Amino acid sequence: MYLKNLLNRSYWDREKLSEYRNDKLKKIIMYSYQNVPYYYQLFKKLNIRPEEIKKVSDLNKIPIMNKNTVRVNLNQMVSKSFLVDDLSLHRTSGSTGEPLYFYLSQSEDEYRKAKHIRALMSCGQKPFDKWVLITHPLYFRQSTRLQKLFRFFTPLSVSVFDDVATQIATIEKLRPDVLDGYASSLLLLAKELNEIDKTSISPRLLISGADLISSNSRTFVEKVFEAPFFDQYGCAELERLASQCSEKSGYHIDADSVVMQFVDEDGEEVAPGESGEVVCTSLFNYAMPFIRYAVGDIGSASYDYDCACGRTLPLMEMIEGRTDSIIYFPDGRAISSFAFIAAFYQLNFYSKIQKFRVIQKKIDEFKVLIQVKEEIDENLARNEILNKFQLLFNLEVDSINFDIEFVDYMPIDKSGKFRMIISEISNDVDKILKKVN
């Protein structure tokens, strides 16, 4: 039912879609005021009456919150109409270097997955396509009851921790119609296949999310696989936010499920075509509402609202996002930086991490910086990190030096942004690999 309604709303006329969105907005605002302690206290403090929020522009009366706001107020952001024990606790991948926890009800999680399927269908994926996904092993079995029952839109998974050669061998056996994964993982596969002049993997579609690669790299990937490359945009907290359709004329915003605003440094909305920080208000998260939530990316509303595909969901353009480096090991292996993020995700003390950063100083030397939000046994933590890295990345003991340091403050880089994965050898990889080997 969720999917059917989502698909229908994709083609509603703009006035009907706008009315629907405003109605959902008024409901989530009133609900949050009445049931969520954090928003009740916020509205009272700022003298905001929930009935004042009737349309998107009225949201500007509410201050923007960031990930740290959620961390500090987590317990106060859960609705009183839910029992915490009945909710599922989720966490972000930590792709910004700052892990975040949040709660979902079962129905909300089902709705999120339906949103994801709509995005897949918009670029041409079919229900029973053989869908291969390069991802974290923890996500291997995350499908809805209907997906499992009817075996539609059910991915076959390949571990992001496997080296490229192993991934290629596995994907060759699976023979996917749709190849999905981190953009950097698909780029690594394309580079390796191009190097060995192999064309044994021939999907009909390529789909990616989470990280971004350059337009030249996307063109290269499409050329190697001889298939179109479609991008999807989202975050763990709200699932898919926008996605490319078959026309690839921009990203269709999930405007029936989220209000997306683009704001400047002062929190004011920018004009179409101008870049601004992406701020989202979810229209379906009731267990733990997100209102004017800055997701940490930069985008812009598109001038061209119409799309040849016929969908009336508004368009946006991505300007900047979560881009990171590719990591290389002395044996010549290259892995997506998201594999390192996924490794941190498995640490027992992950919930105590405030921020983390991995810097590749040399081909066999890494600097790992960790900022924690509560006291831990640093020696035990170091041992756990080393053991986890060696196990997941199949590293020989002492083959790579990991200098792990616990810090009180995590510095930003010269660009003024916080980057979690930094490679200081990426410009001279081939030369370094030849020298080491």
Q: Read off the amino acid at residue 204.
A: R
Q: Following CA atoms 333, 337, 339, 341 in sequence, which dihedral angle do they give, to the nearest 10 degrees?
A: 150
Res. 113: pLDDT tops 50: yes
Cα separation of 145 and 147, whole Å?
A: 5
Res. 295: pLDDT tops 70: yes
Cα separation of 160 and 123, whole Å?
A: 24
Q: Higher-confidence residue: 242 or 354?
A: 242
Nearest to 130 by CA among 73, 71, 183, 171: 171
The token pair at 350 is 């992950």
Res. 383: pLDDT tops 90: yes
Of 17-31, 37-51, 101-115, 389-403, the least confident: 389-403
Give residue-wise pLDDT tens across range 348-365: 898 888 888 888 999 899
Taking the mean position of all CA atoms in its chain, how far away is CA 93? 7
> Are 125 and 131 contacting, i.e. CB atoms less than 8 angstroms apart?
yes
Of 5-19, 187-201, 320-334, 396-410, the least confident: 320-334
pLDDT above 70 coverage of the chain, percent:
89
Cα separation of 179 and 207, whole Å?
A: 6
> Are 77 and 38 contacting, i.e. CB atoms less than 8 angstroms apart?
yes
> Are 180 and 155 contacting, i.e. CB atoms less than 8 angstroms apart?
yes
Of 176-190, 373-387, 417-431, the least confident: 417-431
Mean predicted confidence (pLDDT) in 259-271: 91
Strand ranges inside 20-176, DSSP E = 88-91, 101-104, 131-135, 156-159
The token pair at 361 is 């100083």
Ordered structural domains, the chain, with CATH: 2-110+234-320 (3.40.50.12780), 124-227 (3.40.50.980), 327-436 (3.30.300.30)
Of 112-126, 335-349, 419-433, the least confident: 419-433
pLDDT reported for residue 131:
94
Cα separation of 4 and 398, whole Å?
A: 54
Cα separation of 125 and 131, whole Å?
A: 9
Instruction: Identify the bridge partners of residue 328 per DSSP, sorted by sequence position.
Output: 334
3-state secondary structure of 207: strand
Query: What band does 417 get if pLDDT is binned at 50, 70 and 90?
Result: low
pLDDT reported for residue 345:
82
The token pair at 152 is 């539609």
Cα separation of 333 and 354, whole Å?
A: 30
Mean predicted confidence (pLDDT) in 248-276: 92
pLDDT reported for residue 97:
59
3-state secondary structure of 276: strand
Mean predicted confidence (pLDDT) in 59-87: 94
pLDDT reported for residue 163:
86
The token pair at 37 is 């302690």
Cα separation of 305 and 36, whole Å?
A: 35
Give residue-wise pLDDT tens across range 30-68: 999 999 999 999 999 999 999 999 999 999 999 999 988
Cα separation of 228 and 222, whole Å?
A: 6
Query: What band does 337 get if pLDDT is binned at 50, 70 and 90?
Result: confident
Total Cβ atoms within 10 A of residue 107? 12
Query: What band does 147 get if pLDDT is binned at 50, 70 and 90?
Result: low
Nearest to 9 by CA among 310, 410, 348, 371: 310
- pTM of the shown model: 0.83
Cα separation of 182 and 167, whole Å?
A: 13
pLDDT reported for residue 433:
47
Res. 430: pLDDT tops 80: no
Q: Higher-confidence residue: 360 or 197?
A: 360
Q: Higher-confidence residue: 411 or 94?
A: 411
Mean predicted confidence (pLDDT) in 133-147: 65
> Are 345 and 138 contacting, i.e. CB atoms less than 8 angstroms apart?
yes
Interstrand relation of 205-209 and 401-406 (parallel, antiparallel or unpaired): unpaired
Mean predicted confidence (pLDDT) in 160-177: 92
| Average pLDDT along the chain | 87
Res. 20: pLDDT tops 50: yes
pLDDT above 90 coverage of the chain, percent:
57
Cα separation of 66 and 235, whole Å?
A: 13
User: What angle (nearest 5°) sits at the alpha carbon of residue 5, between those of residues 3 and 11?
Assistant: 110
3-state secondary structure of 106: helix
